[in-house]
Homo-oligomer: A and B are copies of this chain.
Amino acid sequence: MSFIKNAWYIAAWSSEITDKPLARTLGGDPVVIYRDAEGKAAVLQDRCCHRGAPLSLGEVVPMGLQCNYHGMVFGTDGKCVHIPGQDRIPSKACVRAYPVVERDETLWIWLGDPATADPTQILDYPFNSNHRNWPHKYGLMQVAGHYMHVIDNLMDLTHLGFVHKNTIGSGASKAYVDALMKSERTPTGVRFTRWMLNHEPPATYVKAVGFKGKVDRWQEFEFVAPGNVVQFTGATDAGTGAYDQNKRDGGFALRILHSVTPETDTSCHYFFVPAHGYRQDEPEATEQLFDEIYRTFLEDKQFIEKQQERLTRWPDPQVDMISDGARVQARRYVAERLAQEANATDSRPVAA
């Protein structure tokens, strides 16, 4: 499969993980995600080493995760800790355990070589733990397309005026194309910001924070490899320094973490969490925002899935447009990381 392996991806939202094993395919492989009797989250290969039954049909028992075919029990490190009717446990009785870190209500998984798993590389996203200032709700959508097509979608917002022309992109196509655009490489990916200065605020912004006149709006999207796009969208009264002095408090503000994890070569898990920095005491604002985002993403999903079908049939040609700038940079960054991984693998010492 074509994806960066030595990297952290979201395996699940913390709220999904209980003592009822959860089956999911990550990076092409079926895994089981669960929380053991001590509350520790774990991800194991979803295949018992005895007769191949899925551990996701099993159950959490005090000793660990029990296969419900013939009763082998495994610890969170993948080692078998119990076999019914026998005392000796063969050392080869084990299943693959993935490095995981649970942080900020999110379970991150390392899909590559466990020896190189480095928790300092996990995306820092403290807003998931900050329900007071950034109320939010967790979302997950299956998309039948390569995960990079979702990243592409987010890194070229000109699609808003077309894909979302009846929803959030209504009448927006010219405004989006004409926006001020800043795009830059970062150590972990690409960031672009679109500014629309002295602009009529959208009705939803007015409703949310009571703007009286025009606003300066921004949309900031940062692709953080391998699969994250950190979105920060907002507006303040026009000319009050948002653009030139980075004064972005006191207006409308919206953060969305988009994080896409490969499922197979032609499908992915699209994790997303919209958080609002306004009307924080109104739970219905959280629901409204989530519902709007969800409907919007369903429109994207339709295009990405059909795009995947066509690209599977005909990968080429792909003719870039000027607005593809940030998207192309993101693709280049990923290509470099993939090349690094391939080189690292090739240059391993070989027995003479």
Given contacts A321-B85, A322-B85, contact A159 B70 (CB under 8 A): yes
CA of A72 to CA of B318, assembled, Å: 12
Segment of A104-112, A212-220, A243-251, A302-310 engaged in the interface with chain B: A302-310
Residue in B49, B72, B162, B309 whose CB lies within 8 Å of A68: B162
The distance from the CB of A45 to the nearest CB of chain B, in whole angstroms, is 8
A319 touches B52 (CB 8 A): no
In the docked arrangement, what's the CA distance between A152 and B71, Å? Answer: 15
Closest Cβ–Cβ distance, residue A152 to chain B (whole Å): 7
Q: How far apart are the CA atoms of A47 and B318 in the complex, in Å?
A: 10
Is the pair A86, B321 in contact by a Cβ cutoff of 8 Å?
yes
The distance in angstroms between the C-alpha atoms of A321 and B84, with both chains bound, is 9
Q: Which residues of B contact A50 (CB under 8 A)?
A: 318-321
Give A29 to B314 CA distance when docked, in angstroms: 10
Interface digits, A296-340 against B, CB 8 Å rule (1 contact, 0 not)? Answer: 000000110011011101100111111100000000000000000
Q: A66 to B161, alpha carbons, bound, how many Å?
A: 12
A75 neighbours in B (Cβ, 8 Å): none
A318 B69 Cβ-Cβ under 8 A: no
Known: A173-B84, A323-B84. Contact between A310 and B52, CB under 8 A? yes
Task: Please report which residues of chain A, range 152-191, place their CB below 8 angstroms from some CB of chain B when the two chains form the complex.
Answer: 152, 156, 158-159, 161-163, 165, 173, 177-178
Residues of B within 8 Å of A93, CB to CB, are: 319
Shortest distance from the beta carbon of A227 to any chain B beta carbon, whole Å:
19
Contact partners of A85 in chain B: CB under 8 A: 158, 177-178, 321-323
Find residues 30-52 in chain A having any chain B CB closer than 8 Å to their own CB.
30, 46-47, 49-52
Is the CB of A57 closer than 8 A to any CB of chain B? yes
A140-158: CB near B (< 8 Å → 1, else 0) gives: 0000000000001000101
9 contacts between A and B (CB under 8 A): A46-B310, A49-B317, A50-B321, A52-B318, A53-B307, A54-B309, A68-B165, A70-B162, A85-B177
